[in-house]
Structure 1
Amino acid sequence: MADVIPLHRLAFSLVPVIIVLILMFRWSLGVRQAIMGLSRMILQLLLVGYLLGYVFTAQTPWIVIAILTVMLLAASWIALCSIRQDRARNYPYAVAAVFVGGGITLFFMTQGVLGLDPWFSPRVFIPLAGMTFSGCMNAVSLAAERYYVETERGETHNDARASAMKAAFIPITNMLFAVGIVSIPGMMTGQVLAGVSPLIAARYQVMVMCMMFSSAGLAAALFLWLIGRATSRRDSPSREA
């Protein structure tokens, strides 16, 4: 079991943060937004810590489903930050993409690989869902931004879709190449710090990387397919006219 970090030692993690904030202030880089983001991060993590402590002991599937629903809706909305002008119109497509892409992958990993019993085990299901939905969110965000940029340049749907899929895969592809060489991912790091054998932790990390890759690809592909269909339906009356 990993040692608990005392609060006075945790405060030392803010020292390099303060240095960066000073640099941002000196260079007029919007230090206020950074401070707000850091404050929000600390508050959100404290709140989620208390919430998960209750959820882990409750062992109720409906609470888990409610949390997953909030995560899904929030991830889908945040994913469309890059296309604010069409955000509301594309929101249902983002929800469907994150739900299907993340849901299918999450089912395979929790039931096929881990064999959770009960199936909704909060201590495992919620953290994995968070990883999955965040990966889908990033993939959809990159795909949406690139798709609209390419279509505004006059590219066809197929060409814009290809460019968007390439953009969506950049982060996860870089992660696949870097894992184990440049970085030790978060889940594996946490398990090693908790005293788990590195070989066992590596197995879990392989599962997580497969989960992240497949969920991101499925979500981006489904989102692009849905907006492609929607675009063709909107354009068809004008062609007929």
Structure 2
Amino acid sequence: MNPSSCKNCDAPLGQQSDFCSHCGQAAHVHRLDMPHIMHEVVHAVIHADKGIFHLMKLMALRPGIVVKEYVAGKRKKYFNPFNFLVLSVAVSTFVTGYFHLMDMAPEAPNKASALINKHINLIFFVAVPVSALFSWLLFRKSGYNYAENLTLHAFLGGFRIVFFLFLFTPLIVFYREYYYLMLGLYMAIWVAFSTWAFYQFYGGKLYVVTLKSLLTLFLTQVTITLFISLMLWIYFMFLT
């Protein structure tokens, strides 16, 4: 049985309608779950829709609201988050390697930073489900399931890469002698932006959301650091 109105544009739906006559979105929009997420990931690899620049603009202005609307069913109006993540990672992998963004001194790179540069795409991808796990655990009272948290972090992960490319890249290219200062500035701005996005998405008391957001980011960073350390250990112990 169809819902009485379209979840994307609120236009009325007929009892036998499979699609909205106003915007074209499917009448049946189910809650996000892991099978749906896996379908979207496959779709991201083989197809890309229109609207990525529109999405980047909206993510810069109201990130949490964008994700909240997408999760609620307004999916036709937004570029697919997993397409966004895959395309962003692809571009960032090239830029990171070309400008040696993970190297404080590219004229004398060490083997560890070279390996990180080579596999930066894997690191970006791993961070998304890891951060989704922590936010799902910390914000469970919000009622969002893991797949919906994964969608939030796919949006944020894609936008973080765009943010990384447009802010961090020029800072490092022109001010590499202040590498750690630029890295700290980038991280501080991103933490503030993520906290704002979490507040828009989850709602609740600002100080509670802020604490949980900081804890999510901290636990994610610790986990990714351990993942990189393990990757380096395996490489230098068994593959060299």
Does the TM-score normalized on the shorter chain lie above 0.5?
no
Relative contact order higher in (CA < 8 Å, ≥ 6 apart): 1
- Please identify the structure whose Cα radius of gyration is greater: 1
TM-score range, shorter-chain basis?
Answer: 0.3 to 0.5
Q: Structure 1 length as normaliser, TM-score?
A: 0.42
Q: Structure 2 length as normaliser, TM-score?
A: 0.42
Point out the structure with the larger helix share.
Answer: 1
